[in-house]
Amino acid sequence: MMTVDEVVVRRKQSATSLAKITLLTTTMLMGVANFALSSTPPTVVTQAATAVAPFGATLNGTVNPNGTVTTAFFEYGLTSAYGQPVAATSSGSGLSPVAVSWTIFSGLSCNMLYHFRLVATNSGGTSYGDDNTFMTPPCPMITSDFNNDGHPDVLWQNDATRQVAIWYMGSTNGNIELGASFLGAAGAAGVPGWSVVGTGDFDNDGHPDVVWQRDATRQVAVWYMGGAQGDVLLGASFLGAAGAVGAPGWSVVSIRDFNNDGHPDIMWQQDATRQVAVWYMGGAQGDVLLSASFLGAAGAAGAPGWSVVGTGDFDIDGHHDVVWQQDATRQVAVWYMGGAQGDVLLSASFLGAAGAAGVPRWRVAGIVDLNYDGRPDIVWQEDATARVFVWYMNGAQGHDIWYSSYLGNDGAVGVPGWRVIAR
Ligand SMILES: [Ca+2]
Ligand SMILES: [Ca+2]
Ligand SMILES: [Ca+2]
Ligand SMILES: [Ca+2]
């Protein structure tokens, strides 16, 4: 039990404490008021760009809001005058640096030096990070640019006569037919019993060459093309001794440099088991079979009911990814590939919501970056009408449908009896 005196003393102590607390709180409020009146501008650091690709990059930096609500944005361009701001984001109002980044998925030019910096603003003022630069990698070769004008072109083959024609494409979206030509005199006459299966520069002379497969024997041969329009047949060769013999039961489904050694390789799919394998090619004429590999464990096992319809580097990691279409539902999915030989399956995704649902009565006729923004696009052809439609893809994984269009006026009408080969 406390005595009466003790209780009185304690009450006096409490009153004194309360007065101290009140004084302290008032001082703090005054401090906050003073602080608000003279807030410190943000501290901004521009950091190195990452994921630099031929047509995109991720810009990075940090912002310290220094206690006041702060917004930040990047600006970039071909000089330190910048000119291209990208959307402002909030960096909060804390007292420590916050990481800020912005990914440019497409729209940059390949093989160019870019300047960029981070800018941040709060009520105390605007701060500018130091100038930083990055160099976009060399422009990727377009394996189907026959007239070398920077726009991928598209081949057509007649189902009956097996004539082959080139559509020279152009415009911003690369979907306008600017001209056409037969693929040499032999292409004009047609090559009965043989199907065009893809293009690639096998002899490294800067002109796309055309790969054919014979329907019955499954022999595979390359036509070396040249001339200003890329439509002059210069020579031909079987693709390796095995190509001369043929690979019965197997179809060529894509021509790409899967192991990044500068030589186009051949992707095959088994008609029944749907196994997928790659022939790695080499030699001065690109027609020497060096080695072969299944496309990962899943490729070795096969994916029954699914057809490989083309390849392209959708996530821009330097490895060509594989696009599949379900024969019945017409769903489309992509396998993201990796590894030194490009034959390791890393992950998979449907191509947009429409790809997951399927596009009945349309087949994928090829994968080509028609608008040349670094993201492979999907070329479709309708079974009955032979109309041709393009999905322009975008997004971090390249599997989002950005916009779409018919392939020129003729493509909108359709070219019955002709099969488009956009790969
Ligand atoms: Ca072209
Ligand atoms: Ca060539
Ligand atoms: Ca290769
Ligand atoms: Ca890839």
Q: Which one is predicted more confidently, 132 or 54?
A: 132
pLDDT band at 19 (very low <50, low <70, confident <90, very high): very low
Q: Mean pLDDT, to the nearest integer, of 282-292? A: 97
How far is the centre of ligand 4, averaged over its atoms, from the C-alpha of 186 (Å)?
Answer: 36
Structure tokens at 58: 């991720």
How far is the centre of ligand 4, averaged over its atoms, from the C-alpha of 312 (Å)?
Answer: 7
Q: Mean pLDDT, to the nearest integer, of 209-235? A: 97
Ligand nearest to the CA of 200: 2
Ligand nearest to the CA of 322: 4
Residue 72 and residue 119 in contact, taking contact as beta carbons nearer than 8 Å:
yes
- Report the pLDDT value the prediction gives residue 100, as an integer from 0 to 100: 96
Closest-CA residue to 64 (of 100, 101, 102, 98): 98
Ligand nearest to the CA of 280: 3
Ligand nearest to the CA of 284: 2
pLDDT band at 139 (very low <50, low <70, confident <90, very high): confident
Worst-scoring range by mean pLDDT, 22-26, 156-160, 351-355? 22-26
How far is the centre of ligand 4, averaged over its atoms, from the C-alpha of 77 (Å)?
Answer: 27
Residue position matching structure tokens 């690979």:
247
- Report the pLDDT value the prediction gives residue 140, as an integer from 0 to 100: 76
Ligand nearest to the CA of 398: 4
CB-based neighbours (< 5 A) of ligand 4, an ion: 313, 315, 317, 319, 321
Q: Mean pLDDT, to the nearest integer, of 122-126? A: 96
Q: Mean pLDDT, to the nearest integer, of 114-133? A: 97
How far is the centre of ligand 3, averaged over its atoms, from the C-alpha of 342 (Å)?
Answer: 10
Structure tokens at 259: 């192991």
How far is the centre of ligand 3, averaged over its atoms, from the C-alpha of 319 (Å)?
Answer: 11
Ligand nearest to the CA of 237: 2
pLDDT band at 37 (very low <50, low <70, confident <90, very high): low
- Report the pLDDT value the prediction gives residue 9, as an integer from 0 to 100: 44
* Reduced 3-state DSSP string for the chain: CCCHHHHHHHHHHHHHHHHHHHHHHHHHHHHHHHHHHCCCCCEEEEEEEEEEECCEEEEEEEEECCCCCEEEEEEEECCCCCCEEEEEEEEECCCCCEEEEEEECCCCCCCCEEEEEEEEEECCEEEECCCEEEECCCCCCCCCCCCCCCCCCEEEEECCCCCEEEEEEECCCCCEEEEEEECHHHHHHCCCCEEEEEEECCCCCCCCEEEEEECCCCCEEEEEEECCCCCEEEEEEECHHHHHHCCCCEEEEEEECCCCCCCCEEEEEECCCCCEEEEEEECCCCCEEEEEEECHHHHHHCCCCEEEEEEECCCCCCCCEEEEEECCCCCEEEEEEECCCCCEEEEEEECHHHHHHCCCCEEEEEEECCCCCCCCEEEEEECCCCCEEEEEEECCCCCEEEEEEECHHHHHHCCCCEEEECC
Write down the pTM of the prediction: 0.79
Amino acid, single-letter form, for residue 160: A
Rounded-to-integer distance, Cα 266 and Cα 244, Å = 14
How far is the centre of ligand 4, averaged over its atoms, from the C-alpha of 294 (Å)?
Answer: 17
- Report the pLDDT value the prediction gives residue 7, as an integer from 0 to 100: 44
pLDDT of 51 above 90: no
Residues paired with residue 349 on neighbouring β-strands, in sequence order: 334
- Report the pLDDT value the prediction gives residue 106, as an integer from 0 to 100: 79
371: left (phi over 0), alpha (psi -120 to 50) or beta: alpha
pLDDT band at 54 (very low <50, low <70, confident <90, very high): confident
Average model confidence (pLDDT) across the chain: 90
How far is the centre of ligand 2, averaged over its atoms, from the C-alpha of 342 (Å)?
Answer: 23
- Report the pLDDT value the prediction gives residue 26, as an integer from 0 to 100: 46
How far is the centre of ligand 3, averaged over its atoms, from the C-alpha of 144 (Å)?
Answer: 17
Q: Mean pLDDT, to the nearest integer, of 38-67? A: 93
- Report the pLDDT value the prediction gives residue 137, as an integer from 0 to 100: 85
- Report the pLDDT value the prediction gives residue 18, as an integer from 0 to 100: 47
pLDDT of 319 above 90: yes
What is the percent of the chain where pLDDT is above 70?
91
pLDDT of 195 above 80: yes
Residue position matching structure tokens 């009153």:
15
Ligand nearest to the CA of 259: 3
State how far Cα 182 lies from the chain centre. 31
Q: Mean pLDDT, to the nearest integer, of 264-290? A: 97
pLDDT band at 40 (very low <50, low <70, confident <90, very high): very high
Q: Mean pLDDT, to the nearest integer, of 340-356? A: 95
- Report the pLDDT value the prediction gives residue 31, as an integer from 0 to 100: 47
CB-based neighbours (< 5 A) of ligand 2, an ion: 201, 203, 205, 207, 209
Q: Mean pLDDT, to the nearest integer, of 109-136? A: 96
Q: Which one is predicted more confidently, 234 or 5?
A: 234
Dump pLDDT digits (tens) for 370-414.
998 888 999 999 999 999 999 999 988 999 999 999 998 888 999
For residue 217, the tally of other CB atoms under 10 A from its CB is 13
- Report the pLDDT value the prediction gives residue 5, as an integer from 0 to 100: 52
